[in-house]
Structure 1
Amino acid sequence: MAESEQQSGSMSEDKALEITMPFMVPKKEISMVPDMAKWKRSKAYADYMGFILTLNESVKGKKLTCAYKVSETVEKLLDLLDTLDRWINETPPVDQPSRFGNKAFRTWFTQLDQDAEALVSAVLPADKQSAAPEIAVYLKESVGNSTRIDYGTGHEAAFAAFLCCLCKVGALKVDDQLAIVFKVFNKYLSVMRKLQRTYRMEPAGSQGVWGLDDFQFLPFIWGSSQFVDHPTLEPRHFVDERVVNEQQQDYMFLECIRFINEMKTGPFAEHSNQLWNISAVPSWSKVNQGLIRMYKAECLEKFPVIQHFKFGSLLSIEPLKP
């Protein structure tokens, strides 16, 4: 972990993570397209992007199966996600005429809505319990929309914001970085895939084959970072089903490709055109840099995504001081 502890970003100094201001329940601040300028200048944008890039650096060249520290807070987060997973088993889909958007998801979501604060309290240290109502909002936002029964990159961003807030209050530390991606985020992905399958959730604002993926974006960023300087695997290899099957337990990117192959039929170049194009990029570092640019442009700078983002004391709409 020594090298990742040197990384700059929102997790670089524990003392910088200590928040002393009063916590507040986050609310929407971006109601019109011109408000997007506020978001891009905000402390929240800088903190969120700093968090994503810090984790991107920490996983560079590392396998999911490598050795890393698993702290008590990480264990508690895994328990929280296990609870969400168990609730899916306890809430089977209902019979309904429409194939997509099973209404049982609303029952599942109601349980999370009621219990989110208690779940977050169980993760937080004793002296940070007052942060639970603020941080719980991001957990609730991270699983999809209960009205539309859909899920997309805005919900994924809420989970990253949830983890970022846990770092900002000091519940997660610098030496948790690998476990945040490889344990916690990976487990979150597995629960979200189960939700998507079980309740046939619609992609939120999907761009069809011109989007990267119907549901996720971050595992492609962090997953491509894992491959940087890999001695044998190049971007062209991820469309090879044999490579995917043999290596997906080590690489988040390949696990995403496996899930796409499982959920979609027909030629890969047709159902996942954008990923097919990425497979022609010569190096993983170029893929990684390109995906970060694409994430900013296609997710963080798109009003339909950011209009749902909520701002509180930890991820503040206040402008970043120059």
Structure 2
Amino acid sequence: MDPPPLTTSPNPTTTTLPRLAILQPSKTHPFQTPSKRIHTAADLPHFLSSLAYRDIGLFLLQLNRALCPRKQQQQQQQATPSTSSTTTTTTTNPLRLPPRDPPARQFTLDAPRSDPPSVVRLRDLLSKLEGFIEEVPPEKGPRRFGNPAFRRWHALLEERVEGLLREYLPPEVLQTWGEEGVLQEVKAYFVGGFGSKERMDYGTGHELSFLAFLGGLWKLGVFGDGGGGEGEVERSLVLGVFEPYLKVIRRLILTYTLEPAGSHGVWGLDDHSFLPYIFGSAQLTRPISDSEPMPLEGSVPGAPKPADILKPAIVDRLRTENMYFSAIGFINDVKTGPFWEHSPVLFDISGVRDGWGKINKGMIKMFNAEVLSKFPVVQHFPFGSLFSWEPDPEAAPVSGGLGTQSPATGVSGPGTAAPWAQATKMPGSAPGPGIPYTKVPWTNTPRGGGAPGTGLPGAGTVPVPRGGVPDTGPPPPTAFPRGKPGTASNQFAVTKAPWAKD
């Protein structure tokens, strides 16, 4: 199949990043029933040079950049002093300070928005799904993971999905493209976004499926009813659809005790989700103008510090505003004990000192390496016409025979950065195979004032508790069972995260 024609944004001079293609309306579009194409790890190189991989990356970057704070337009006031007051003004006001820049425009979860009807309809659809939980209460009895009632909830979703999509997708879009073809394709990604009824689990692969559902609707022009400035529709999608989707997922996890799908346990970023950390860190990066690229370091003035995720009171206050803190809040809801113990990677990230822009850049790299480039995660992703298995003609070849490690890193042989990384200035994937990992702050960062790498406080300084801050629990053990960072010692093979300094 020929690659879909790319369309430009209405005002292409206002952004440095391309946007995901919106297909030209055609009732003869060759819709396909999405099917499994990644059967073994040997299929990963093909995926990493496919049109689907390119389009997923473009859409993710498009949403990510839309959440970055924006600089406000400086209002210039022209002063016209009279000739009679010139001498007096110069004498009494010798300092002519420029006016202060207005506060940056930030995009928070609780800020008022004017969402387009298409977004409102999708949010209503998610509310309808959440109501299914009342129809299928969990079975009684102690279970650590997987209440069998989830299988009935999921069966109810599969039974009603076509009727729901007919009800909540814009009728004009279904009429333009043909109802049968649209439902044939998008329902696979929609159902796939709500976990596995066989394994009774949920993870980043299911989250990726829901992202593809939104991306497929974007391609079909579903969100063409949105107006406003640059990135307005994308912000509505993330804050008005994706965050409500996460709330439904979190209720499903709590109600049916869903098992983490393919989780690295405490050695992964999060048991269930990844994207809220990307979008949430983007909300706090250094402000940009519409013509600037995504910042790679820095934070918006007044932003919380990365280490504030370790303070439950601050997390509770910010979880209604920011997606990163909302995800941390859910971890606090379901896990007990010291944060460094159950979420060591997020704990390590809390020590980053170069701002939320650096964290966002690292999250993008890690998502590429640990979600899109990992066979256990993407093996269930289905391919059709909207996310095509066909090769991207502009992608560099990816070498095969890399097993389950990240093929895009080129560690075990020649490789290539993501095609959309080259096209959009997106950071490449994280170096090295295995689980993403940073050097822990108490061995890599002089948090107590000592020399880097010693973990010892310097002379004349007040040492910070080895847990990071006083309310993170007891100090971690001196012999942590993860081995030396970047090696395969002990029981875990780990790599430095992208934000870790060499």
State the TM-score bracket (shorter-chain normalisation). over 0.9
Query: What amino acid sits opposite 1:160 in the alignment?
Result: L
Normalising by structure 2, we get a TM-score of: 0.61
Matches of 1:202 and 1:193, distance apart in 2: 12
Matches of 1:257 and 1:280, distance apart in 2: 15
Matches of 1:190 and 1:256, distance apart in 2: 10
Q: Is the 8 A contact 1:269 1:276 kept in 2?
A: yes
Using the aligned pairs only, state the percent identity: 40
Q: Is the 8 A contact 1:44 1:316 kept in 2?
A: yes
Q: Is the 8 A contact 2:66 2:232 kept in 1?
A: no
Q: Deviations over 1:252-276 (max 9, x none)?
A: 1111111101100000010100000
Does residue 1:77 correspond to 2:122, yes or no? yes
| Structure number with higher relative contact order (C-alpha < 8 Å, ≥ 6 residues apart) | 1
Where does residue 307 of structure 1 map in the other structure? 379
Within the candidate set 177, 200, 222, 1:171 is matched to 222
Matches of 1:150 and 1:222, distance apart in 2: 23
Query: What amino acid sits opposite 1:156 in the alignment?
Result: E
Query: What amino acid sits opposite 1:257 in the alignment?
Result: I
Measure how far apart 1:7 and its partner are.
Answer: 5.7
Secondary structure in structure 1 of the residue aligned to 2:56: helix
Change (3 A) 1:6 1:120: farther
Where does residue 132 of structure 1 map in the other structure? 183
Within the candidate set 185, 198, 202, 1:147 is matched to 198
Greater Cα radius of gyration, structure 1 or 2: 2
Query: What amino acid sits opposite 1:248 in the alignment?
Result: R
For residues 250-261 of structure 1, the aligned pairs below 5 Å read 250-261=321-332
Where does residue 237 of structure 1 map in the other structure? 308
Measure how far apart 1:69 and its partner are.
Answer: 3.1
Q: Deviations over 1:49-99 (max 9, x none)?
A: 110110000011222233433111111101110111000121100135633
Normalising by structure 1, we get a TM-score of: 0.94
Matches of 1:104 and 1:83, distance apart in 2: 18
Q: Is the 8 A contact 1:238 1:254 kept in 2?
A: yes
Within the candidate set 114, 132, 150, 1:87 is matched to 132
Measure how far apart 1:4 and its partner are.
Answer: 11
Matches of 2:25 and 2:358, distance apart in 1: 36
* Residue ranges of structure 1 left out of the alignment (5+ in a row): none
Matches of 2:305 and 2:24, distance apart in 1: 41
Where does residue 318 of structure 2 map in the other structure? 247
Q: Deviations over 1:108-156 (max 9, x none)?
A: 1011111112222231423232311100000111100001100000000
Q: Is the 8 A contact 2:68 2:284 kept in 1?
A: yes
Where does residue 211 of structure 2 map in the other structure? 160
For residues 1-322 of structure 1, the aligned pairs below 5 Å read 6=15, 8-11=17-20, 16-18=22-24, 20=26, 21-61=29-69, 62-96=107-141, 98-122=143-167, 123-124=169-170, 125=173, 126-128=175-177, 129=179, 130-173=181-224, 175-229=232-286, 230-232=300-302, 233-282=304-353, 283-322=355-394
Secondary structure in structure 2 of the residue aligned to 1:65: coil
Q: Is the 8 A contact 2:50 2:391 kept in 1?
A: yes
Query: What amino acid sits opposite 1:213 in the alignment?
Result: D
Where does residue 411 of structure 2 map in the other structure? none
Q: Is the 8 A contact 2:25 2:176 kept in 1?
A: no
